[in-house]
Amino acid sequence: MQRSDLERNGSFTLVLKLKFKAAMASRRVSQTILSDSTHLLSYIRINAIGFLLKEKDVRHPEEITDNITNDPVFD
């Protein structure tokens, strides 16, 4: 192998390493966003149940909870 081939291979390896690191960082960011979104939806669901319990007849709270948890918006 000539020196220029080694330099190209080294550059190519460096590019692959950088792309891999960028992909892993992007994956971590995506997982963090997904985790934060899940927490936010849980918070919204809890507040919505609390609000509906205040507004509705409290004798049958399981019906209210079932209606919210079966709503596709909260899935």
pLDDT of 6-38, one tens digit each? 555 667 677 777 787 887 777 777 777 777 777
> Domain locations in the chain?
3-74
CA distance 60 to 26: 45
Report yes or no: 49 and 65 within 8 Å, Cβ to Cβ: yes
- Whose tokens are 């690191």? That residue is 21
pTM: 0.34
